[in-house]
């Protein structure tokens, strides 16, 4: 009688089987098979042992296909705390729409994914060849992921990011002139007769975009012989709740201020609620200015004066720069000029 085990159709071993046997991700298996130096020696030995045990054979045809372009770009977002289930900062929704349209004009698909700050987030798309290149959005704490950008660059991944543009940073960055935007806000508040300007938002090098906005406002005040007072600055993440909490902290200090510049529209909208709850009138008692130019700024109460970032042009430049990198053409970082949209919150 024939052994039933021999009559069964042999199942092909895949890299997923190797990953399960070695206790690693499929992306890590791909890196080991490609000889990547990014894998530590212990992990490499486990993967190689699993390959031998399962008698895994590399599909050379599939490997050759990986050298071809996918015709797809990947947009990787970090999740933001939001009151709804989107987990996307509304500002990035505007850029997302612009990026999608720009990809369509170039005949490319767009793959959108949330990514966590894990050990191998930077390699997943490079190893799996799901996309020809990466667009990074919403990466807040710069110091926490700068080294990962350097690793992306070292392994030859094509990527661009939206963020603060400075010299000697890894890769290509498209961003807003945050310093100029902060100066616009500061000069506007001075023109409205305000002299004690509070700032809500992290003003440290960990968040260079917020920091540049603070410095821009500070430079405008210095031109008028004034200064930003450290006691009138409160750290806040870019959420309405954080803006509300930061404004309450500011009010609890009991120091006088007649203007509030928030590092984002979300922070400003949260602060408006805290000011109203404290019995302060906007703009009569406190003039408020935000930053980003999100659609919700028009419908806050009162409508919010805000520094507007050009999200339409941002998407175009991000896609154009990435496709130039994919085609091995020169690309460069670029800075977009902001504008100021004056509304009732600052007496406009």
Task: Note whether 199 and 226 are same-domain residues.
Answer: yes
Pairing of strands 72-77, 133-137: parallel
For residues 11 and 56, what is the distance between their CA atoms, to the nearest angstrom? 11
- The encoded tokens of residue 115 equal 């990514």
53 and 80 both lie in a single domain:
no
- pTM of the predicted structure, to 2 decimals: 0.77
Question: Would you state the pLDDT for residue 118?
Answer: 52
- Phi/psi for 167 (5° steps) reads -70, 150
Distance between start and end Cα atoms, the chain: 92
Q: Identify whether residues 120 and 217 lie together within a single domain.
A: no
pLDDT (0 to 100) of residue 318 = 97
Q: What is the mean pLDDT of residues 153-181?
A: 88
Alpha carbon 110 to chain centroid, angstroms: 17
- Confidence (pLDDT) at 342: 98
* pLDDT number for residue 290: 98
How sure is the predictor about 38, in pLDDT bands with cuts at 50, 70 and 90?
A: low
In this structure, the answer to whether residues 304 and 185 fall within a common structural domain is yes
Please give the pLDDT value at position 307.
98
CATH of the domain at 331: 3.40.50.2300
Task: Tell me the pLDDT tens digit for each residue of 197-254.
Answer: 999 999 887 889 999 999 999 999 999 999 999 999 999 999 999 999 999 999 999 9
- Last residue within a domain, chosen from 65, 84, 112: 65
List residues bridging with 133 in a β-sheet. 73
Distance CA 340, CA 286 (A): 18
Q: Give the pLDDT score at 61.
A: 44
Q: Are strands 133-137 and 109-114 parallel, antiparallel or unpaired?
A: unpaired
Q: Band of the pLDDT at 7, cuts 50, 70, 90?
A: very low
Task: Identify the helix (H) or strand (E) that includes residue 124.
Answer: helix 124-128
pLDDT at position 234: 98
Residue 320 clears pLDDT 60, i.e. is over it: yes
Same domain, yes or no, for 188 and 136? Answer: no
Task: Please tell me whether residues 187 and 297 are part of one structural domain.
Answer: yes
Do both 10 and 115 map to the same domain?
A: no
52 and 87 inside one domain: no
> CB of 153 within 8 A of CB of 160?
no
Number of Cβ within a 10 Å radius of residue 259? 25
Residue 331 — φ and ψ, nearest 5°? Answer: -140, 155
Both 256 and 294 in one domain: the answer is yes
Separation of alpha carbons 200 and 99, rounded Å: 29
pLDDT in tens, 97-153: 999 999 999 888 998 887 654 555 555 555 555 788 899 987 655 666 777 778 777
Mean pLDDT over the full length of the chain:
85
Q: Which is nearest to 153 in space by CA: 168, 166, 164?
A: 168
Question: 20, 44, 65: which is the final residue of a domain?
Answer: 65
Which tens digit of pLDDT belongs to each residue from 250-276?
Answer: 999 999 999 999 999 999 999 999 999
Residue appearing with tokens 């405008």:
220
Q: What is the pLDDT of residues 67-97, one digit of tens each?
A: 456 688 988 887 666 565 556 778 888 899 9
Q: For 138-181, what is the HEC assignment?
A: CCCCHHHHHHHHHHHHHCCCCEEEECCCCCCCCCEEEEECHHHH
- Beta carbons of 291 and 214 less than 8 angstroms apart: no
58 has a pLDDT exceeding 70:
no
Which band of pLDDT confidence, cut at 50, 70 and 90, is reported for residue 64?
A: very low
Residue 260 β-bridge partners: 198, 288
When mean pLDDT is compared across 69-78, 189-198, 276-285, the lowest value belongs to 69-78
pLDDT at 276: 97
Q: CA 51 to CA 242: how far, in whole Å? A: 49
Say how far apart CA 239 and CA 262 lie, in whole Å: 11
Residue 69, both tokens:
């372009």
- 183 and 304, same domain (yes or no): yes
Residue 60: predicted pLDDT = 43
Check whether 184 has a pLDDT greater than 70.
Answer: yes
Residues 79, 42: one domain? Answer: no
Name the domain count of the chain: 3
Q: pLDDT-derived band of residue 63, with 50, 70 and 90 as boundaries? A: very low
Q: Which residue has the higher pLDDT, 220 or 55?
A: 220
% of the chain beyond a pLDDT of 90: 53
Confidence band (pLDDT; 50, 70, 90) for 4? very low
- Residues 323 and 300 grouped into a single domain: no
Instruction: Report the pLDDT value the prediction gives residue 275, as an integer from 0 to 100.
Output: 98
Last residue of a domain, one of 46, 65, 84: 65
Structural domain range at position 196: 178-309+341-346
Residue with the bigger pLDDT between 56 and 17: it is 17
CATH number at residue 33: 1.10.260.40
Q: In what order do the strands lie in the sheet with 133-137?
A: 109-114, 72-77, 133-137, 159-162, 172-176, 334-336
């Amino acid at each position: 009688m024939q052994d039933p085990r021999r009559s069964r159709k042999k199942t092909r071993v895949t890299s997923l089987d190797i990953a399960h046997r070695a206790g690693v991700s499929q992306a890590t298996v791909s890196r080991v098979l490609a000889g990547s130096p990014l894998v530590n020696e212990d992990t490499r030995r486990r993967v190689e042992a699993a390959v031998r045990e399962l008698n895994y054979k590399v599909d050379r045809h599939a490997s050759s296909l990986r050298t071809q372009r996918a015709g797809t770009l990947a947009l990787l977002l970090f999740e933001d705390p939001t009151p709804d289930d989107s987990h996307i900062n509304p500002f990035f929704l505007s850029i997302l729409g612009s990026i999608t349209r720009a990809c369509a004009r170039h005949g490319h698909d767009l793959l959108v994914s949330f990514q966590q700050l894990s050990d191998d987030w930077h390699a997943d798309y490079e190893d799996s060849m799901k996309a020809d290149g990466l667009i990074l959005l919403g990466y807040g704490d710069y110091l926490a992921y700068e080294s990962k950008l350097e690793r992306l660059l070292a392994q030859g991944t094509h990527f661009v990011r939206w963020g603060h543009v400075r010299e000697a940073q890894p890769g290509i960055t498209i961003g807003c002139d945050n310093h100029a935007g902060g100066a616009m806000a500061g000069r506007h508040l001075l023109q409205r007769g305000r002299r004690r300007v509070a700032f809500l938002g992290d003003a440290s090098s960990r968040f260079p975009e917020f920091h540049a906005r603070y410095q821009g406002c500070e430079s405008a005040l210095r031109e008028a012989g004034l200064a930003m007072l450290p006691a009138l600055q409160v750290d806040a993440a870019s959420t309405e709740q954080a803006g509300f909490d930061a404004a309450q902290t500011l009010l609890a200090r009991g120091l006088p201020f007649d203007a509030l510049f928030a590092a984002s529209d979300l922070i400003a909208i949260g602060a408006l609620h805290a000011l109203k709850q404290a019995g302060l009138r906007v703009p009569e008692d406190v003039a408020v200015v935000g930053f980003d130019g999100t659609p919700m700024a028009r419908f806050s109460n009162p409508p919010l004066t805000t520094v507007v970032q050009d999200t339409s042009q941002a998407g175009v430049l991000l896609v154009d720069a990435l496709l130039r990198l994919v085609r091995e053409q020169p690309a460069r970082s670029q800075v977009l000029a902001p504008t100021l949209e004056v509304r009732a919150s600052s007496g406009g």
